[in-house]
Structure 1
Amino acid sequence: MSPDETLAESPARQAVGAARRLVVKVGSSSLTTTEGGLDHDRLAVLVDALAARVAAGSQLVLVSSGAIAAGIAPLGLRSRPRDLATQQAAASVGQQALAHAYAASFARYRFTVGQVLLTADDVVRRSHYRNARRTLNRLLTLGAVAVVNENDTVATSEIRFGDNDRLAALVAHLVDADALVLLSDVDALYDGDPRDGDASVVREVADAADLEGVSAGDTGASGLGTGGMASKVGAASVACSAGVPVLLTSAAQASSALGRADVGTAFASTGPQLSARRFWLAHAAGAQGLLRLDEGAVTAVVQRRRSLLTAGITGVEGSFEGGDVVELADPAGSVVARGVVAYDAAELPELIGRSSHELPPEQRREVIHADDLVPL
């Protein structure tokens, strides 16, 4: 049996190859020149591969970086700007160029493109999360190709996703994708820096144990993007933990990745498909505070999936209101769960450590109900 045949039999790769609804993320370095500006030839080759997959019957969401990089040359900038105002200005020019380029390229195959710009606020806020989910689902059912990008024209450091790899993982669950493909300028995950010459390819990742000893860099090599291999591995872990398998490879191998899926590194799904609400709680919502728990409460919440009561809380941190998302930490300080708290931060200090029968009737309720808790 050849290596390609062995790879093709990987369950994760089979899932990518058979996915009816697919999210594909492409990085800035795969779409732009080193001087800035779009590389239309490379974009057209990518669209060729994407269009072939759509023609074969898949619904496609493309999470595309490149807006800021695409605005560098038109604005006469020498390199990627570092200050927020210039980044936003570059994005306002680049997003227009990027959207036009995708629309024109997909039009060669008579496919309609819909652009969706998101900020982290759109997934942190539950109502925005539902709206984004509804819009993307409708675009796909209408037969359009959805192109998603972070809305860099208004995003600030406080509300940014950080990189489009994480955005792609969130979008994959947002649209109930069957698989996620991450395309960059590196052909696979290596156990070290591939530029050193002695690093080996990691072809399959079944669980966290397969990542032991793997050293992933923090930044991209081109200088045009913000995400390196570490962000891609992190995004893959988020997607896989929610039941979405991932294939990581280079944009140059997009045709193979979207065909036989026999290239790059495949990450197997490691958890069940979470409901939209539980995924939002675990990965999308922003935590407004932290509750410290004793061992008994950790066991009840994490292992027995019970509601959190006042008796098991040992400390309260942060400023939050009832209805906000908070993190739950064990006695060692490790975050073990997240949930929607029913009390304001100011109410809890005088209640913690006390059993329900010791409290006034109006305060005998769960601090976090089991239905609003997600163990991590």
Structure 2
Amino acid sequence: MTAANRRRDVVDASRLVVKVGSSSLTDPHGGGLDEERLVALVDVLARRRLAGGSVVLVSSGAIAAGIAPLGLTKRPWDLATQQAAASVGQGALVAAYQRAFGAHGLTVGQVLLTADDVTRRSHYTNAKRTIDRLLELGIVPIVNENDTVATQEIRFGDNDRLAALVAHIAHADALVLLTDVDALYDGPPSQPGAQRVPLVVGGLGLDHVRIGGTGSSVGSGGMVTKVEAASIANSAGITTLLTSAPQAGEALEGKDVGTLFVPTGSRRASRKLWLAHATTPRGRLMLDAGAVHAVVERRKSLLPAGVTEVVGAFGDGDAVELCGPDGTVIGRGLVNYSSTELPDLLGRTTHDLARELGPGYEREVVHRDDLVIL
């Protein structure tokens, strides 16, 4: 397999998700939006949209856009000020996109998401319905994390992971991650002799690659988050291309730029993908050996009889890690009991619990449909 063969996945994608980072949209000093950069990107995406393709844009930049209006000199680190900057900047960001896409006769629609919107079934179903309908109507969805209300406990942490999850929820054919680095290199790009990695297949071949960096002064991501995002998208069967924003046009034309991450195997079911990559575990359930075998090998639901210990504080419906007797994490799932209610049920059969406490207690601790093996 060659990178050239698989670049057609990006060229021919009828539904494309593109993510752009804050550093690609702001002036070099991070003081605010650089509309010239934004317009250059929009021109590329508008051509794709007007040629008949569907485009979803996952855009960072709301917090960066709010830096100057708030009189700040750099990206704030405390959550409250980040939320204030996002509140001010989000309107400016979407307005800039509306002007730029409007010049091509296109309309944009804003979609703000929190982690809950892709982890709780009713929420991500609504998110999918909204994005699908916008695309059906010819609108370009502009997706961003809802930084104005997201807390540290429920936020994605960066828009790279969000973009990978949006690519799956939108059933995209390809994902393009645009950043301020033109590709993944086998070492720091500024280091003499560093070589571009043109192709990564199934996550293999990265052992020799030194991946580091925490992102720019106006962003929150880095190369690590982009490689992780590519892995998430690949697990959903979606080809991913990582390159710089100035090379976006060449990337969409299939030119030899950036790093192409190619999946192996089929798409993972959406529910399992969300559980594996979008949820933040609130606690842990320790399992005995029999429960581990039932959950991992037999793909059964987790019952109270197989749980030996409850760790952490969580509520009904929260994500928890499932651990074997030695503490190894073997899976993740949505629990049907709170951490205060569950300890009294441990080691007991659902039949006995139902007889003693009522039929409401004949339910699983974690249903197999809400469980993913890691």
Q: TM > 0.5 between the two?
A: yes
- Is the aligned partner of 1:369 residue 2:367? yes
On the 8 A contact 2:240/2:261 being kept in 1, the answer is: yes
Tell me the number of residue pairs that the alignment of Structure 1 and Structure 2 aligns: 369
Report the equivalent of 1:212: 207
Report the equivalent of 1:297: 291
Report the equivalent of 2:181: 186
- Relative to structure 1, the CA distance from residue 156 to residue 201 in structure 2 (aligned partners, 3 Å threshold; closer, same or farther) is same
- Relative to structure 1, the CA distance from residue 331 to residue 193 in structure 2 (aligned partners, 3 Å threshold; closer, same or farther) is farther
Q: Give the alignment partner of residue 195 of structure 1, picking from 170, 173, 190.
A: 190
In the alignment, the residues of structure 2 paired with residue 144 and residue 89 of structure 1 have an alpha-carbon distance, to the nearest angstrom, of 28
Report the equivalent of 2:80: 85
On the 8 A contact 1:34/1:224 being kept in 2, the answer is: no
On the 8 A contact 2:62/2:93 being kept in 1, the answer is: yes
Q: CA deviation at 1:360?
A: 5.7
In the alignment, the residues of structure 2 paired with residue 261 and residue 22 of structure 1 have an alpha-carbon distance, to the nearest angstrom, of 17
On the 8 A contact 2:156/2:278 being kept in 1, the answer is: no
- Give the secondary structure class of the aligned counterpart of 2:134: helix
Q: Give the alignment partner of residue 172 of structure 2, picking from 169, 177, 183.
A: 177
* Aligned-residue RMSD, C-alpha: 2.3
Report the equivalent of 1:339: 333
On the 8 A contact 2:284/2:323 being kept in 1, the answer is: yes
Report the equivalent of 2:5: 9
- Shifted more, 97-106 versus 116-125: the winner is 116-125
- Give the secondary structure class of the aligned counterpart of 1:114: strand
In the alignment, the residues of structure 1 paired with residue 286 and residue 167 of structure 2 have an alpha-carbon distance, to the nearest angstrom, of 32
Report the equivalent of 1:162: 157
Give 1:1-376 correspondences, 5 Å limit. Answer: 6-10=2-6, 13-35=7-29, 36-220=31-215, 222-260=216-254, 262-354=256-348, 361=355, 362=359, 365-376=363-374
Fraction of identical pairs, as percent: 62
TM-score by structure 1 length?
A: 0.90
In the alignment, the residues of structure 2 paired with residue 234 and residue 342 of structure 1 have an alpha-carbon distance, to the nearest angstrom, of 29
- Give the secondary structure class of the aligned counterpart of 2:247: helix
On the 8 A contact 2:115/2:279 being kept in 1, the answer is: no
Paired residue type of 1:373:
L
Paired residue type of 1:135:
T
TM-score by structure 2 length?
A: 0.90
Q: CA deviation at 1:364?
A: 5.3
On the 8 A contact 1:257/1:263 being kept in 2, the answer is: yes
Q: CA deviation at 1:139?
A: 0.6
Q: CA deviation at 1:146?
A: 0.5
Q: CA deviation at 1:46?
A: 0.7
Deviations 1:318-355 (A, max 9, x none): 23344433221223323221223333434443443456
Paired residue type of 1:269:
P
Paired residue type of 1:69:
A
Q: CA deviation at 1:276?
A: 3.2
Q: CA deviation at 1:365?
A: 4.6
- Relative to structure 1, the CA distance from residue 152 to residue 298 in structure 2 (aligned partners, 3 Å threshold; closer, same or farther) is same
In the alignment, the residues of structure 2 paired with residue 352 and residue 154 of structure 1 have an alpha-carbon distance, to the nearest angstrom, of 36
In the alignment, the residues of structure 1 paired with residue 306 and residue 154 of structure 2 have an alpha-carbon distance, to the nearest angstrom, of 33
- Relative to structure 1, the CA distance from residue 297 to residue 212 in structure 2 (aligned partners, 3 Å threshold; closer, same or farther) is farther
On the 8 A contact 1:242/1:270 being kept in 2, the answer is: no
Q: Any unmatched runs of 5+ in structure 1?
A: none
- Give the secondary structure class of the aligned counterpart of 1:211: coil
